[in-house]
Amino acid sequence: MKLIIRGRHWLRGYVKFQSTGGSPEGFLNSCNAKQVDVWGTICKSRLLRGYISVRDYKKIRPVARENGIRLRHIEKAGLPFWTQRYRYRWGIPVGAAAFLGLLWFLSLFIWNIELSAPLPADEQLIRSSLARAGLYEGALRSGIDAQQVRLKLQMEVPEISWASVNMQGSFAGVELHQTAFPPEFVDNEEPCNLKAARDGRIVKVEATAGQIVVKPGEGVTKGDLLVSGVVENQTGTTTLVHAAGNVIAETSRQLTVEVPLQGKEKKPSGDPIVHRTLSFFELHLPLYLSNVSGEYEREWRRDYVSFLGVRLPIYVTTATFQPIREEAFSLDQQQAEEKAQKLLEEKEKSAFQNMQVKRKEIEIVRKNNKIIITGRYLCEESIALCEKIDKIS
């Protein structure tokens, strides 16, 4: 609220005044009676200081004389004084008009494109596909067909199952959803059976719909029927239902890691090389002279220029090239085993997220100048897989 009041005072223009002599109290009471706004007043030893609008400053001179006050202004500020000061400097309004015209012209183009996170595929691949569909930084907004962009993106990038393109002024937001490749989806209202997704020994069976056909302790192989969606009624007729439930089984899994005792590996070589490029829309100005050769690893980032919180279509791309070289290495058996153990632990974290490991056996062998570590696991996991019922044979 204070900011709004200050802005209003600045637009109207105001004067900082100082008065001496007479009755400061009577002067302020008279101003109040005439509805003259005086603010920021300080009175010491009959010396009064305060602020008043330009328009009201002219009105209070008779009031000051009535109260024996001698007035004088000590500061002037606000838009009216600012414009008067620069009234003969045509460069300022011309520059302002040119700036507004440039902003209007730039607003006809796409300034930047925001991709939703996490990205289902490589960012460069997605942006290249968008560019081929006509959506890129610097593209004319009126020539962009959001529907065609969406369809082309989904066709060219198989990892994207669904996309939407939202245009807001000079900004384009692209929302992406990753393609999942799950087993065939069966609608909750469609009849189906629950079958074994892998071999195992049944531990527990819970069914909320359908007829259970296996018992705890029984062994099953992949594809065996666990809970049937064909339910026999008391009248002898059958009803097809959507079998539902949870079947827990003991399963066997195996993970293997190989670590060579001798070989070659890639390592950083020397200092990284940094290349920067200044870009305005699709115009790119290299800010480097050297070239990069040989084998290297590349990382890059893009830093945009912002003005008053608005991201402009000006950015600096920083590419870092780390030269690498191949070096021969040699490990003794203990070092190789320790490395293999760490790699196996990483595999276990990824493989056993949704199951419980009941028993674990590790076998380490040396073969063909390699350390081979094999983990065999007894797990408990859900093996029920919904399969649609096409017909009753």
Q: What is the pLDDT of residues 124-150, one digit of tens each?
A: 888 888 889 889 888 888 889 888 888
Taken as a whole, the chain contains a residue count of 393
CATH among 3.40.50.1820, 3.40.220.10, 3.20.20.70, 3.30.70.250 for 2-84: 3.30.70.250
Categorize the per-residue pLDDT at 87 as very low, low, confident or very high, splitting at 50, 70 and 90.
low
Buried b (16+ CB within 10 A) or exposed e, 72-87: eeeebebebeeeeeee
User: For residue 393, what pLDDT is reported?
Assistant: 46
pLDDT at 392: 53
Mean pLDDT of 270-288: 89
Tokens (6 digits) for 153 = 């993106």
Q: Model pTM? A: 0.47
Query: Residue 74 has which token pair?
Result: 């000590």
Highest CATH level, class, for 112-178: alpha beta
187 confidence band (pLDDT: 50, 70, 90): low
Report d(CA 283, CA 291) in Å as an integer. Answer: 20
Please state the domain extents for the chain.
2-84, 112-178, 188-261+331-393, 264-329
Indicate if 112-178 has the same CATH topology as 2-84: no
* pLDDT above 90 for 251: yes
pLDDT for res 157: 85
pLDDT higher than 70, residue 235: yes
What residues have CB less than 8 Å from 240, skipping those under 6 apart?
Answer: 191, 229, 230, 231, 389, 392
